[in-house]
Each structure stands twice: as structure tokens, then as C-alpha cells.
Amino acid sequence: MIHRFTVGDLACAVISDGQPEPPWVPPLTEFYTPATGVPEHELRAAVAREGLGRTTLTCAYNCLCVRTSGGLAMIDAGLGQGFLGYGPAIEPLVGRLGDGLAEAGFAPSDLAAVVFTHLHEDHVRGATRAGELAFPEAVAYAHAAEVAFWSGRAGELTGQQHRPAREAIRLFGERLRPAEYGIELLPSVHTVDAAGHTPGHTAVLLRSRGERLLCLGDTFYDPLQLAHPAWRTPWDHDAARSVASRRRLLAWAADESLLVHAYHLPFPGLGRIERRAGAFAWRPIAAGS
């Protein structure tokens, strides 16, 4: 699946790495749990207020390519081929980024840069393949705190958690460039503080000719987190900081009517944030519009 659009002079394309279908869509109860401060009765009541009667969420993997004057860049790289972490049935449904790039007219060697919002495996595995880099000409960017965390904390994490991040760090080597917040990585591509989900979690702001797009990575997984911005998930490293970052970024996006890219929302993951009843709501942009 490919969705093309522009941000000022920047030609952009959301390319899906996959989007699991029923019965492989994950249950809401795996994302919002009593252990993360979301009692079961509160989750049930929130879903009832939606009026949709759902028990699952759509967990898409929306990778964003952007043509800058410094070359073609991709923001996050999907789960990649051969992913079996959720069981064999999921494998045909993800790892489609390579086919999508080809369909969009890009070769792997066309990528000049890969920008990681963070180094969780569903954002980084697609950048490597069978012990090699999937994009042989690309440099990579991730926040310095993110690189330090995944490089130095392996003893506290399971193999499944840390292996893809460490593999990407090793393979990119000196071509992995630790970044900071508030800088321009490439022409028109800027980093924004979104820490909390992971130590160096980074939002990416595209800015060209007065138009802007804010890529929020894993700032939220589902519209329920907009209506309930204090809700956390088991994957948030620093709970309090993740909530503070989410509130700040959602308020900014709503108040300035920013176009938003949400990595895990249904394809293409583009929309705008609106203020609603003391919290926020999602107004999606349909693919092809």
C-alpha cells in the first residue's frame, strides 16, 4: 500500500510494511492494562463511549519516505521480512516494505538516510536483512540517548527486546549518527523531543514552504490514547515522561492544526488532532485523498 502526498516542496510517500488483519489484530487489553494504570472497567467504559463495539486495535506499520534536497530519507523501517514474534501466521502480513519501495519506484540503494524515531524492533528490523543492511547506501539517525540505552542496557533486557536494535547499531557502525533534539538532520527534516516511550524517542518534523508534517512515532498507538492521554502501555520506558510528551505534542498538533503521521494507526496513518472534551480526537485522512 502506498499513499503519495506533498509537504511544501517535499514529495512524500507512506509505504506500508504491513497491517495485520483479523484474527491477528491485537486485543486492546494487551495495550491498556491495570499494570499501566488502566483498570479493566475504565477500558470497557471508554470503548462503550466510542460506540464501535470493538475489542482490538489495528496495529499498522506505516513507513514514511520523503524526498529532500539531501536525498531520499525514510522514517522508520517496519518489522522486516521473516518476523515470527507473533507466531507464523503473522509472517505473510508484515515485511512488505521492500515490495512497496519497488512499487513506488525506489531501489534500496536510493535511500540516503534512515531516521529512527526509536529502536524498538517494529521500527528497526526492516533496516537489516540476513545480517546485512537492507539499504546499503544509507546513513542512519537515532537520538544519542536511544543508541546509548540499547548499546549499554542489554543485560536488563530479553534477547527479543534488544537483539534487533543492537544488530542495527552494529551493522550501521560509524554510519549511525547519534542525534539530539531540536536539530535539522537533513534539509527540512527536524528532530523534536518525544522522550518517554523510550529514552531517546524522537518525533520528526518536516517543514517546507510554510507546510509542516509531524511524525509522532509511538507517541500513541490508538485513538483511545488521544481521548485518554494519561493512558500508558507496557512498552513505555518512562511512564510519567511518556504522558508528558504525549500531552505536549498532541496540544501542539491540535493548536497549530499540524498534519500528523501516526506510525501504528490504520494506513496511511495521516490525519489531524482536534481538542475534544478536555482531551483530543483523531481526524484521519483517507488513503488516496
User: Which residue, among 126, 201, 204, has the nearest Cα to 171 in the 3D structure?
Assistant: 126
**What's the mean pLDDT in 93-122?**
91
Provide the CB-side half-sphere exposure for 115 (13 A, CA): 34
CA distance to 89, 121, 142, 159, 242, per residue, from 163 (Å): 22, 8, 16, 5, 23
Report pLDDT for 289: 63
**What's the mean pLDDT in 17-25?**
81
Other beta carbons less than 10 A from residue 243's beta carbon = 18
Q: What distance in Å separates the CA atoms of residue 187 and residue 207, rounded to the nearest whole number? A: 9
Report pLDDT for 92: 73
Report pLDDT for 79: 86
**What's the mean pLDDT in 161-178?**
89
Q: In this predicted model, which residue has the larger pLDDT, 27 or 193?
A: 193
Q: Specify which residues 66 forms β-bridges with.
A: 12, 73
Q: What is the CATH number of domain 2-284?
A: 3.60.15.10
The structural domains of the chain, with segments of one domain joined by +, span 2-284
- Model's pTM, two decimal places? 0.92
Q: Dump pLDDT digits (tens) for 246-288.
A: 999 999 999 999 999 999 999 999 999 999 988 999 999 877 6
Report pLDDT for 86: 67
Chain centroid, CA 75 distance in Å: 8
**What's the mean pLDDT in 185-198?**
96
% of residues, the chain, pLDDT over 90 = 69
Report pLDDT for 196: 95
Q: Is the pLDDT of residue 215 over 80?
A: yes
Torsion of CA 63, 209, 223, 262, to 10 degrees: 10
Q: What distance in Å separates the CA atoms of residue 178 and residue 268, rounded to the nearest whole number? A: 28
Q: Is the pLDDT of residue 159 over 60?
A: no
C-alpha cell at 26: 491485537
The band of 155, judged by pLDDT with boundaries at 50, 70 and 90, is: very low
Report pLDDT for 20: 81
Q: Dump pLDDT digits (tens) for 56-90.
A: 888 899 999 999 999 999 999 998 877 766 666 67
**What's the mean pLDDT in 158-177?**
84
Other beta carbons less than 10 A from residue 48's beta carbon = 10
